[in-house]
Chains A and B, each alone.
Chain A
Amino acid sequence: MVALGATISAFWILVANSWQQTPAGHIVVNGRAELVDFWAAVFNPSTLPRFFHTLTATLIAGAFFVAGIATYYLLKNSSHLFGRKAMKLAVILGLFASVIQVFPFGHWHGQQVAATQPEKFAAIMGIYSTETKAPVVLFAVPVDKPPELKARIQIPGLLSWLAFGDVNAPIKGLDEFHRDEVPPLFLTFVSYHNMVVLGMWFILVMGLAAFFLWKDTLWERNWLLKALLWSIPLPVLASQLGWIAAEVGRQPWTVYRLLRTEHSVSVTVSAETVLFAIIVFFVIYAAMGFTYLYLVAKKVKQGPEPTGA
């Protein structure tokens, strides 16, 4: 029931965000967007790819969390029964989730962005001028003036093929859009690429763990166990990076091509008040977060209860 509730709740939150990214099912009357087709708004072009991509991200985070905690027990005692059971489950689920996260879900989400938000796609992929045989940029340092990518390592044609199934398909570059209608370039590019790097890391680590699990020698590979332990926060980091790419990539729009961020600012709430609120919440959440880590660490050290193992 908890899992079902959380999933349904996640779905509707993502519907709202997806509608902001790719609005549908509405008409604009007197400057107001009015709903005309409920299902078109709910299942707008980015809802499903975003939902599956996000849901899988949470599974990866869960798998790494469980694997990391199991590691903690296994490093102390490699025949720890609870640790072994938890590790098996986490590695199988973690590898599965890490793989489907890239294909089909990440791929699907990328194709959708290419089709529905070409400015964002160009920004996160680092395509600054329209080209056929567009490359997948593996590494680069984006600089601002003039906008270009320094020190590029790339695979030509791959992006065109991934996005549209044809190496000769043209990918729209940032030069095709109004200067004030493209998102910030550095943040989108860097966060997206680091998310992908982390995604590859998850497959690698979980893949190796699964291999040694199959050989039944995972329990002796301390280096791999340590890698799992230190990877606990990485899926959360990857999710944050993904969201930065998605949300900064939506700029300068609150609702894509309907409402600019500068026009969505409240007329009655001052910027200082908002800053104050952000600081208050930052402090409270930081305090809560640290307390939470302290309590989790305490619980983990206590170990599982005999009946629960």
Chain B
Amino acid sequence: MELELLQTIWFGLVTILFIGYAVMDGFDLGVGMLHLFARSEEEKRLTMNSVGPFWDGNEVWLIAAGGAVFAAFAPVYAAIWSGFYVALILLLVALLARAVAFDYRAKVERARWRQFFDWCFGAGSGLIALLLGVAFGNILHGIPIDARGEFAGTFWTLLNPYAVLIGILTVLLFTLHGALWLALKCEGDLQARMILTAHRMWIVVTAVYMIASVITVVTNRGLFTDVDGNMFWWISLLAVIFAMAFIPVLIVKRRLLLSFIASSIMIAGMIGVAAASLFPMLVPSTIDPAQSLTAFAHSSSRYTLMVIFWIALIGMPIAILWKVILYVSFRGKTVLTKDSY
């Protein structure tokens, strides 16, 4: 296979892995944030157990996405993982807090103990969504990449208004996604409240997404110069528009599974639009566009891309098959048992 084709394929695969992560872990992060608003111990356990069999598998998509960047675009990995170091440490702390909450919360029956892990779960989830959103905003907007291909800013460079806006959008988006999941997995009063939350969050998400889009178009004209002939860009954009429009209709008709699928498509579309706008850039440089990190100039060798392409070709179907089995086995409403979290 030609080098350029492989580089394009890997740009696409990295995008797909990040989409997989956002769609999958997105809902359990949202559930984590909504967990803080659960009204009783039973509700808390229900929210937590609704994602119990799925959350850790969902997080693996992030590892897979990071691993794919490492293997396929090593210089990009080096620049980002070093440049975003402090943010990534915070992200890891949040991921740890959340993971430990699942394991430890139910093991001791004291109220203080459980409260503490409720916060680990809820605040951890919120922080993860926020940090990833901010990181994504920075990638979209571009960061100071110098002539050596290294990040030339600080942690505070990353907290610019645009990136923070994308961070907030991500938090809202995942809350909507999580509310739809809970509506699907729960019954009674909790379900009714989640449906209401989903309605409200849909309005907020739609409004913020539109504002963010306008700001992106105005401040980042460069992103949209080559998109006219890009089929993926148009498909993604249409997916966002249609999915976004159908979510409230589906909720009203109580087609909860379909509304969750629509919200998944919407998230996938949002990342798809962003990735297609960036292509072939992986990280635009705000110092000099010529110093941007791109799929064509900053990839691994042809042989490496070929090897990992085969690994992905074998590995991804297995991972997807396993996911399907998992979600089918744990379909239906969440039930609490003695061994639940």
A residues neighboring B (CB under 8 Å): 29, 34-36, 38, 266-269, 273, 276-277, 280-281, 284, 288, 291, 295, 298
Contacts and interface: CB of A to CB of B under 8 A. Distances in A.
B171 to A, nearest CB: 23
Contact of B301 (A34, A266, A281, A288): A34
A266 B108 CA distance: 43
Contact of A273 (B86, B93, B148, B301): B86
Contact of B304 (A34, A273, A291, A295): A34
Nearest to A29: B301
Nearest to B113: A291
Interface of B: 79, 82-83, 85-86, 89, 92-93, 96, 100, 104, 107-108, 148, 150-152, 300-301, 303-304, 307
Contacts of A281: 92
Contacts of A268: 79, 82-83, 85, 150-152
Given A280-B89, A280-B93, A284-B93, A36 B82 contact: no
Contacts of B85: 266, 268-269, 273, 277
A38 B104 CA distance: 41
Given A35-B307, A266-B82, A277-B89, A291 B301 contact: no
A267 B150 contact: yes
Contacts of B301: 29, 34-35
A269 B86 CA distance: 9
Given A34-B303, A36-B303, A269-B85, A291 B93 contact: no
Contacts of B152: 268
16 contacts: A34-B304, A35-B307, A267-B148, A268-B79, A268-B85, A268-B150, A268-B151, A269-B82, A273-B86, A276-B89, A277-B85, A280-B89, A284-B96, A291-B104, A295-B104, A295-B108
B146 to A, nearest CB: 9
Nearest to A285: B96
A138 B306 CA distance: 50
A298 B113 CA distance: 15
A104 B82 CA distance: 41
Nearest to A269: B85
A112 B303 CA distance: 29
Contacts of A36: 303
Contacts of B307: 35, 38
B304 A35 contact: yes
B89 to A, nearest CB: 5
A35 B151 contact: no
A304 B89 CA distance: 39
A288 B96 CA distance: 10
Contacts of A284: 93, 96
Given A267-B150, A268-B83, A298-B108, 7 more contacts: A34-B304, A266-B82, A266-B85, A269-B82, A281-B92, A288-B96, A291-B104
B290 to A, nearest CB: 20
A273 B84 CA distance: 12
A288 B83 contact: no
Question: What 4 A-B pairs come out closest when comparing CB atoms?
Answer: A34-B301, A266-B82, A268-B82, A269-B85
A268 to B, nearest CB: 5
Contacts of B100: 288, 291
A299 to B, nearest CB: 8
A64 B148 CA distance: 51
A274 to B, nearest CB: 8
A186 B119 CA distance: 46
Contacts of A288: 96, 100
Which of the listed residues B85, B150, B304 has the most CB atoms from chain A within 10 Å of its own CB?
B85
A49 B69 CA distance: 30
A38 B150 CA distance: 28
